[in-house]
Structure 1
Amino acid sequence: MKYTTEITIDLPRTEFIKKLDNPENMRHWQRGLTEYKQISGNPGEEGAKMELHYKMGKREMVLVETIIKRNLPYEFHTTYDTKGVHNIQKNYFNDLDDHTTKWISESEFQFSGFMMKVMGFLMPGAFKKQSLKYLQDFKAFAEKGVSVSES
């Protein structure tokens, strides 16, 4: 399953990237994130792996993020792996003008196991909705300082 989401952020790209590239800020725009830890490589560099722990309702989930391309401030690509799901994220950042940045995020989900394949087939909108929510939450944090960790 592949789809693209995008959002316009009212910040110059340099400020946008500073906020996006700081792992301490993830808790402000990634709902349910309870902890993260570096597990290999140099933080933020290609090949680095980070373990991300989320709690969504009663469900807990652990993802492993791997940075596959870091060409900031233009693009940043990662993979996320958890049981039954391999997600490839390609993120592109474009100046619209001196104070506005467009974030384009291409998502590809590859499912393994019967239940995950069924979920991907029956609920593709849920995945896109979650991806867009992260972009919207980042926008609120970056532009207005609104944190999802306070809600």
Structure 2
Amino acid sequence: MVVWKVGMMGLLQGLELVFLGVENYVMARGGGAESVIYRYFASTMLDCRCRLRFHGGVSSVELREAAPQTPTGALPSTEEPGELHVKYSVSIEIALPREKVVQLLSDPVHRPKWLRGLVLHEPLRGADGQVGTESRVVFQSGGRTMECTETVTRREPENLHGIPSDRVVHFDREIVAAGMWSAAREQITETGTASTLWVSENEYRFNGLIRLAAPFMRGVFIKQSRQHMQDFKSFAEHGTDVREAKD
């Protein structure tokens, strides 16, 4: 496996704070209230867009919704009517040579040291990090557990040793969970003999009740993505292990 989807824990923690409250409200009032809430969000969130700027990198967020429907289950990789669509990007500079960075990112042994909440990353088909490999991934946060399936869709170059300095390294993957499809497109660029730029482009699509909470979680997504990138930077540069951090 290569770089994990850095926004995933943002989804989990955002769900704890927002989605469960929305779900409880809807279910306590039955289908009639649910229908009213769906119509309200469909009318107020169409073509909603915003841009956010963060220290260390510019992040853009796009929210848009197609014709209101209420599909259920996991989402396909192509956009369907009724989905809520979220896109954003984040970036960070790391004070290490690019080859060292990609070696640390791609090594599954190091993953729990910088990826908060990771419980399990288990390849189901294929070898870790190779294109086409499917893996079962489990995260835990605040006593809640989230499980999803990851598929590696791009790894360029395949050989991560002796990479030409002018070549951009790409790590892409898709994530599927109940009510959600997402993609992460990582770009690792050499900016100096001992400096590297990591840019992460993220995309989410939601359906079902989770669509109601997603617009309120956009800030959580970006905050958590940046936290994971900062955790990796601290691990790579200083050896900091998030499992030893005091909350």
Partner of 1:101: 196
Match of 1:128 among 222, 240, 244: 222
- Counterpart code for 1:81: V
Determine whether 1:51 maps to 2:146: no
SS at match of 1:44: coil
Partner of 1:150: 244
TM-score normalised over the length of structure 1: 0.95
Partner of 1:76: 171
Moved over 6 A (4+): none
SS at match of 1:90: strand
Match of 1:15 among 96, 100, 103: 100
Per-residue deviation, 1:118: 1.3
Report how many residues are paired: 150
- Counterpart code for 2:140: K
TM-score normalised over the length of structure 2: 0.59
Partner of 1:88: 183
Distance 1:77 1:94 in 2: 15
5+ residue gaps, structure 1, are none
The percentage of aligned residue pairs carrying the same residue is 31
Per-residue deviation, 1:44: 1.2
Distance 2:233 2:136 in 1: 24
Distance 1:55 1:43 in 2: 21
5+ residue gaps, structure 2, are 1-85, 161-168
SS at match of 1:23: coil
Per-residue deviation, 1:131: 1.0
Partner of 1:113: 208
Per-residue deviation, 1:42: 2.2
Aligned CA-pair RMSD: 1.1
Per-residue deviation, 1:85: 1.4
- Counterpart code for 2:226: L
Distance 1:144 1:68 in 2: 31
